[in-house]
Amino acid sequence: MQATLPQPAITVTDLACRRGDRLLFRGLHFAVGPGEALHLAGPNGIGKSSLIRMLAGLLRPFAGTVTREGTIALLDERPALDPYLPLGKALDFWSRLDGAQSAHAGEISERLGLTHLLDVPVRYLSTGQTKRAALARLAGQQANTWLLDEPLNGLDRNAVATVEALVADHCAAGGTAIIASHQPFMLAELARFELERYAP
């Protein structure tokens, strides 16, 4: 008896994106399943962030379809953390909303080097600290699929390695990751998708 294969977490069929009068890309086809990671590569302005927003359901494609299975968490340039709250309380808000266990949230904060910043208001965090805080929020959602838009911006070398390991662990546990980045992302099993090839 043949085993039933798991459904892809994200399936893209004949996708096209237009910004104003300019067609950014067209004819995209790919599928990413549990345990897999995909690196969306290409120069600035090619449509990586627009594609991530389409995958998240926040932007309507000009043409084509996106099919999603399971839960999705998005990391982009907006950390979605109350700037006036101390970081710990801002993260606790999301933990309560997502039903995350406090032990798991504490482990993620420690891994991302945030434990000494929990009393600091979010608005006083540096760019790199804010990015790590946003990653802690994302990981706390315990979603099947992570959509990461430029997740390494503002991070030093050690933080980059931590984020790469976090994504690797997510995929090893059966999660899916789609990473839009103009920077290299070191992951053992990482497929690369060159968006520039689909520009008109």
The model carries a pTM of 0.91
**pLDDT of 164 above 90:** yes
- Using 50, 70 and 90 to split pLDDT, how confident is the model at 183? confident
| Residue ranges of domains in the chain | 35-58+71-192
Amino acid at 153: N
> Cβ(112)–Cβ(135) under 8 Å?
yes
What does the pLDDT average to over 149-171? 93
In a 3-state reduction of DSSP, which class is residue 65?
strand
How does pLDDT run across 15-68, given as a tens digit for each residue?
999 988 899 999 999 999 999 999 999 888 899 999 999 999 999 999 999 999
d(CA 37, CA 144): 12
Average pLDDT over the chain, rounded to an integer? 90
170-173, Cβ contacts within 8 angstroms, sequence gap of 24 or more: 170/139, 170/146, 171/35, 171/36, 171/37, 172/35
Q: What is the third-level CATH fold of 35-58+71-192?
A: Rossmann fold (3.40.50)
- Using 50, 70 and 90 to split pLDDT, how confident is the model at 6? low
> Cβ(64)–Cβ(28) under 8 Å?
yes
Identify the pLDDT of residue 1: 37
> Cβ(25)–Cβ(198) under 8 Å?
yes
Reference 130, options 99, 151, 146; nearest CA is: 151
What does the pLDDT average to over 184-195? 86
In a 3-state reduction of DSSP, which class is residue 102?
helix
